[in-house]
Amino acid sequence: MKSKKLLLPSLSFLLALFVSGLLVAFTDAQVLALKNNPLSMISKAISTAGNAYWALFRGSIFDPQLAESRFWEGFYPLSETLVAASPLILTGLSVALAFRAGLFNIGAQGQFIAGAIGASWVGFTFELPVVLHAILAILAALLFAGIYGGFVGLLKARTGAHEVIVTIMLNYVAGYFLLWLLGTTAFLRLGRQDPLAPEVRESARLPHLFGPELRANFGFIIALVAAAVIWWLLNRSTWGFRYRAVGANASASRTAGISVARVTTSVMFIAGALAGLGGAVQVLGSEYAMTSGIGGSFGFDAITVALLGRATPVGTVFAALLFGALRAGGLTMQSSTETPLDLVLVIQALVVLFIAAPALVKAIFRLRNVDSSQTIASKGWNG
Amino acid sequence: MTLELRGITKRFGSLIANDSIDFAVADGEIHAILGENGAGKSTLMNIVYGLLAPDEGTISVDGKVVLINSPIDALVAGIGMVHQHFMLIPVFTVAENIVLGHEKTKGPGFLDLVSARKEILRVSAEYNFDIDPDALIEDLPVGLQQRVEIIRALIYDAKVLILDEPTAVLTPQETDELLKNMKKLKDKGTSIVFITHKLREVKEAADKITIIRRGKVVGTALPSSSQEELASLMVGRPVSLDVDKKAPQVGSVTLDVKNLSISDRTGRTLVRNVSFELRAGEVLAVAGVQGNGQTELAEAIVGLQEHVSGSIFFDGKDISNKSVRAALHAGIAFVPESREEDGLIGSFSIEENLILDVHDMSPYAKGPVISQSVVAQEAQKKIAEFDIRTQSAKDPVSSLSGGNKQKVVLARELSRSVNLVVASQPTRGLDVGSIEFVHERIIAERDSGRAVLLFSTELDEVIALADRIAVMYRGEFIAIVPADTSRADLGLLMAGVKP
């Protein structure tokens, strides 16, 4: 049962790697130059793709060169993977939780920014004792982003406004609001004219996990704890029972006396807070200062991560680690081989494509009896 | 024309829907296919009509094997079908619907409706169908819409007409009309395959009866067989068609509904000024053709309808503005019309479905935590009490049969402390065994002093269970009559004719 659940996402990922490998190999000028000699062309193609993926591995898990002087330094790339994965786990959980309640939260991006603003502002404005400062900054992020998400849920519950449209629009609002905010005196760094917020104080920063040289920080622990809490919420609590019930069949839930409006509002609040926590982890854990690009694509990648993780907390953690690794390794791949960083985007896109088309993957691997209804991506928004 | 099926087999995965079925319709014969829901009747007819491809077997028309891959092939071979749910476009006229898919044009792309209208008038006159080719479908009563479907088949020269559960949507009078028309068609040489699970109609109209059970032909019978014999063949064991019940022990007023009106979002009135009293220990059955406001009335009592005026008093307290949860926990059991959509969450386990309404109450939850062990224990008890046939309480409810699904709903709803049972079409789509179970349970609830409000479109069910009968027509209670009112009088009321 467990292994079956992993089968489809894993195969989709392998298939994506394979197709991307073909792309890398057969767009390479050196490979194409050998087109009159098929055998050496194929071997060159294999080595080109192999090199790219080896660089991806060195950039994301373990680099033997770095390990030469001190062994543990070889794990520097893994630390980078954790740094990239932590906010993704949180935004991924945000999307996954909403999915389980039948809501499509496209707004993790905006909620992430709302959280980053909250954490950053508390982080650089106040002077507070060490642990307390970080906690307050995180609480501010949870509150800002929670309200930002909860507002969407409230709109849906009261007026029926579709959350997909509203969250997409609110992403723009958050992005441009941040841009405006960075131009105001409160958020302008002393002596700078470009949109760059002041650094958060030392007291608000999240501690490093493995010493000052590795960037891996407490944000990863926060993400894991959040995943555990969401797992408990969904599978053991009365709240989660209602969320899952409404997500699986809203009309039967209503008939059994469950308030769908309350579920919609509270789920969107929690989903927003999770994405905002991701923003806080990014600001307090690794960036320290907010720029207009703080959001990156954490909110959008979150959708892919949640799909790949099949909207379960555990699956989301693993999917986010995978995407974090791709993100960290992609940089090394770009610098040490000819392969552009965009390949990582291609791999991500292909993973989504294959997951959204389970029938295709099943046909390719001649699988039977794998329940494709478990893949959310092939369902409609209201399905 | 004769139609002969030989060795038709159709599998869906591991399920064998049709297992080497042999079946033949003689020229000018009304041949009934009798079977329970899920026996494979519709699958078989969809194969004949080209909507499904058989895995094995052949179809012959007039002794020659034909290949039917689409409804067009079926029409060409002379086979017409009237589906249970009509394939008509409501905003089109009769003529437009009939030419749909076979449009003839005149000159540069002008639709030729004139010849279609002539044809319709000719067929309509021939059979006394009384159909106006220019009427909009949505303005026609269901019985006439069905005639439009039949005319369509006749215009395309159907020699064998398949009627799939044609009486499910009709009033008793419309049903009688249909049976008469079937005989007329037969006299003019059309063979008819009549699919149904209603014994009375089979006995009345059929020349020959083929009984299907679990995908197999289990026997043939003549209309002279008794209803009990037919039912036993259909179910595979002796069946008693009567419900044993004692005289009701009527108590105090449990439900008092006054001037209840319900409208939809657009302001259209669905239920108009309904008033009635229901006492403890009695069954009030609401009869009526589907779609006359029964669904909305049932939902309004537990608070599922939004635009409601009037008052609903339950045990002396006004519950008309209460939430669904408040109404349920005040002591109302609600069995919704659609099990799959409103009664159960298919992907949830049986255990979880059993606590949908009480998941956050003692003993299932302590604070915000659901106690898995209590949920499992209570589920075992209910599975035993309601005889729910399943491998495990952890199985998704969607894996159960219709009857067992309904038992899950009943087990959940009747486990609260309840004074009123509101059951909407509780036996729709169930097999005979499950129907017996549900009927016995409803009478048991009545006998234990609970009030029962039963909504049913099946007149047999209404007559078997009711202590009083309310007839609903176009959103109104047009009469509340005693349980011994004759079938004919009830039929007239259901058609809106006041006594």
Query: Is the backbone of residue A370 left (phi > 0), alpha (psi -120 to 50) or beta?
Result: beta
Residue B96 has pLDDT above 80, yes or no: yes
Domain final residue pick, B174, B208, B235: B235
Same domain (yes/no): B208, B268: no
Would B247 be classed as within a structural domain?
no
Order of strands across the sheet that contains B269-279 = B269-279, B253-263, B307-314, B317-318
**Whether B221 and B275 share a structural domain:** no
pLDDT of residue A383: 34
The domain boundary residue, chosen from B235, B264, B284: B235
Whole-angstrom distance, CA of residue B232 vs CA of residue B202: 15
pLDDT at B446 over 90: yes
Q: Is residue B248 part of a domain?
A: no
B210, B347: one domain:
no
With a pLDDT cut of 90, the percent of chain A lying above it is 66
Helix (H) or strand (E) holding A137: helix A130-159
Q: Which of B173, B206, B235 is the last residue of a domain?
A: B235
What are B276-292's pLDDT values in tens digits? 999 999 999 999 988 88
Q: Are residues B203 and B276 in the same domain?
A: no
Q: How far is CA A235 from the centre of its chain?
A: 22
Average confidence (pLDDT) over A7-27: 86
pLDDT for residue B429 is more than 90? no
pLDDT, residue A302, reads 95
Which chain B residue has its CA at the smallest distance from A232's CA? B369
Same domain, B400 and B484: yes
Interface test mutation site (partner A, options B295, B324, B335, B351, max chain A beta carbons within 10 A)? B324
Confirm or reject contact between B38 and chain A (CB < 8 A).
no
Token readout for A166 is 């509203």
- Which residue(s) pair with B81 in the sheet? B162
Which pLDDT score is estimated for A369? 54
**Residue B318: other Cβ atoms inside 10 A:** 11
A7 pLDDT band, cuts 50/70/90, is confident
Higher pLDDT, B59 or A10: B59
pLDDT band at A156 (very low <50, low <70, confident <90, very high): very high
Q: Count chain A–chain B contacts defined by CB atoms under 8 A.
A: 68
List, for residues A342-383, the tens digit of each pLDDT value.
888 888 788 778 877 777 777 777 776 554 444 454 444 443
- Please tell me the distance from the alpha carbon of residue A63 to that of residue A72, in angstroms, as a whole number: 10
Q: Give the C-alpha distances (Å, rounded to integers) separating A56 from A302, A304, A341, A345.
A: 21, 20, 10, 13
Average pLDDT over residues B39-45: 85
B306-334 pLDDT per residue, tens: 999 999 999 999 998 899 999 999 999 99
A241 to B370: CB separation less than 8 angstroms, yes or no: yes
Q: Which of A93-102, A105-114, A132-141, B258-267 is predicted with the least confidence, judged by mean pLDDT?
A: B258-267
Q: What is the mean pLDDT of residues A41-49?
A: 91
Domain limits at B195? 3-235
Neighbours of B357 (CB within 10 A): 23
The pLDDT of A267-292, averaged and rounded, is 96
Residue A322 reports pLDDT greater than 50: yes
Question: Under a CB-based contact definition with an 8 Å cutoff, are residues B185 and B192 in contact?
Answer: yes
B positions 296-325 inside 8 Å of A (CB)? 302, 304, 323-325
* Domains of chain A, CATH where assigned: 1-60+338-383 (no CATH), 82-329 (1.10.3470)
Asked whether residue B246 is domain-assigned, the answer is no
- With respect to residue B381, please indicate whether it lies within any of the assigned structural domains: yes
Phi and psi at residue A72, in whole multiples of 5°? -65, -25
pLDDT at position B114, please?
Answer: 86
Q: Say if B149 falls within a structural domain.
A: yes
Q: Give the C-alpha distances (Å, rounded to integers) separating B483 from B173, B253, B274, B493.
A: 19, 19, 20, 14
What percent of chain B has pLDDT above 90? Answer: 53
Share of residues in chain B with pLDDT > 70 (%): 100
Nearest 5°: the CA angle B437, B236, B81 is 95
pLDDT of B267: 86
- Report the candidate in A370, A350, A304, A374 with the shortest Cα–Cα distance to residue A12: A350
B373 and B439 co-located in one domain? yes
Q: State how far Cα A343 lies from the chain centre.
A: 18
One domain for residues B284 and B229: no
Q: Are residues B142 and B288 in the same domain?
A: no
Work out how many domains chain B is built from and give that number.
2
For residue B499, tell me if it sits in a domain. Answer: no
Cβ contacts of A256 on chain B, cutoff 8 Å: 324, 328, 356-357, 412
Please state, as a whole number, how many other Cβ atoms lie within 10 Å of the Cβ of residue A37: 11
Residue with tokens 């991924």: A92
pLDDT at A380: 43
Structural domain includes residue B386? yes
Whole-angstrom CA distances from A117 to A122, A137, A302 are 9, 10, 19
Cβ of A255 within 8 Å of Cβ of B325? The answer is no
Same domain, B185 and B279: no
Q: What's the pLDDT score for residue B455?
A: 96
CA distance A231 to B469: 51
User: Distance (Å, rounded) from C-alpha A74 to C-alpha A57?
Assistant: 12
Integer Rg of chain A from CA: 22
d(CA B398, CA B395): 8
Q: Which of A241, A244, A257 sits opposite B328 (nearest CB)?
A: A257
Nearest to A88 by CA among A334, A341, A286: A286
Average pLDDT over residues A77-95: 96
Q: What is the Cα gyration radius of chain B?
A: 25
pLDDT of residue A193: 79
Average pLDDT score over chain A: 90
Contacts of B356 in chain A (CB under 8 A): 245, 252-253, 256, 258
Q: Please, which pLDDT band fits residue B226 given cuts at 50, 70 and 90?
A: confident
- Model pLDDT, residue B300: 96
Same domain, B206 and B282: no
ipTM of the complex: 0.86
Give me the sign of the Cα torsion angle A266, A269, A275, A281: negative
Chain B residues whose CB is inside 8 A of the A236 CB are 369-370, 372
- What is the distance between the alpha carbons of residues B139 and B494, in angstroms, rounded to a whole number? 18
For the residues B143-150, what does the mean pLDDT come to? 89
Q: Can you name the residues that pair with A237 across neighbouring β-strands?
A: B369
Which of A229, A236, A255 to substitute to test the interface with B, most B CBs within 10 Å? A255
Residues B221, B347 within the same domain:
no
Q: Say which CATH number the domain at B23 has.
A: 3.40.50.300
- B66 or A141: which carries more pLDDT confidence? A141
Is B244 domain-assigned?
Answer: no
- Is the same domain home to B170 and B275? no
Structure tokens at B420: 């009123």
Q: Looking at mean pLDDT, say which of B348-357, B388-397, B400-409 comes out highest.
A: B348-357
What confidence tens digit (pLDDT) does each residue in B330-357 have?
999 999 998 989 999 999 999 999 999 9
The whole-angstrom distance between A228's CA and the closest CA on chain B is 15
> Nearest-CA distance from B316 to chain A in Å?
22
Largest CA distance in chain B: 77
| Cross-chain residue pair B323–A242, CB shorter than 8 Å | no
Strand (E) positions, B340-475?
365-366, 369-370, 420-424, 451-455, 468-473
Q: Is B431 helix (H, G, I), strand (E, B) or coil?
A: coil
Q: How far apart are CA A366 and CA B442, in angstroms?
A: 50
- In chain A, the largest separation of any two C-alpha atoms, in whole Å, equals 72
